[in-house]
Amino acid sequence: MKVCTDATLFGAMAPVMSGEKVLDIGTGTGLLALMAAQLGAGSVTAVELNREAFGEARSNFRNSPWNVHLQAVHADIRKYAATCNESFDLIISNPPFFQRHSKSSDDLRKLARHTDELAYPELLACAAKLLSDDGRLYLLLPVMAVAQIREEAGKSGLFLSRRINLKGYARNRAKVAALLFSRTELKYEEKELTIYRAEREYSKESERFLAPFLLRFADAGKTVGRASARQ
């Protein structure tokens, strides 16, 4: 699975606070977990069902500068949640997309991009069990799924407080949204972020988030601090 821009920007915008305990559900090759560690998480537990992806995530963690903060777990999140006695300050997930849409013939891509293995209500139930009392849940979802997930989240006592719609260019409609939930009903905020200002040119706002993570911004990243929107 290639690393996509949406997921990278989602990780760069993650509201990680220094020293927090973070859980990454469905870590894949570990992208979001690695970014959370770079953003200052005290510990990141990354749960992955697929054995091949788990092995790659574990290898990536071991070879990263933040390896002491990262733990890869090969498990079904439902079984993990049922036996875990820990709670987490922040849970992040880029869950499977495209419910009831045509499927890839490749089994691994199929598993990663569809909700056959973990339906949204199950994901939310796991998150509700594992979140601390003042914890937050941070999801990347297709825009078309937001209404459903918001309704399902309410059943688990989780309330949407922030939504950032991501679109490729100013002329495009947003296809995915970064959603932040908490156990307390807070003032709702919604905004839009355009990723590119021109072909292969990031917008100033997306560059501000991505600069600390992408090598193409290595020089600029030395002077770019954590964006205030992550707070």
Fold adopted by 5-222: Rossmann fold (3.40.50)
Q: 37, exposed or middle or buried, with CB in 10 Å at 0-12, 13-18, 19+?
A: buried
pLDDT tens digits along 132-160: 999 999 999 999 999 999 999 999 999 99
Q: What percent of the chain has pLDDT over 90?
A: 79
Give the span between the Cα atoms of 26 and 73, in whole angstroms: 10
pLDDT surpasses 90 at 93: yes
The string of DSSP letters for 40-104 reads T-SEEEEEESSHHHHHHHHHHHHTSTTGGGEEEEES-HHHHHHH----EEEEEE-PPP-TTS---
Please, which pLDDT band fits residue 217 given cuts at 50, 70 and 90? confident
Are 209 and 9 in contact, with CB atoms under 8 Å apart? yes
pLDDT surpasses 60 at 34: yes
Residue 86 pLDDT: 95
Q: Where are the domains of the chain?
A: 5-222
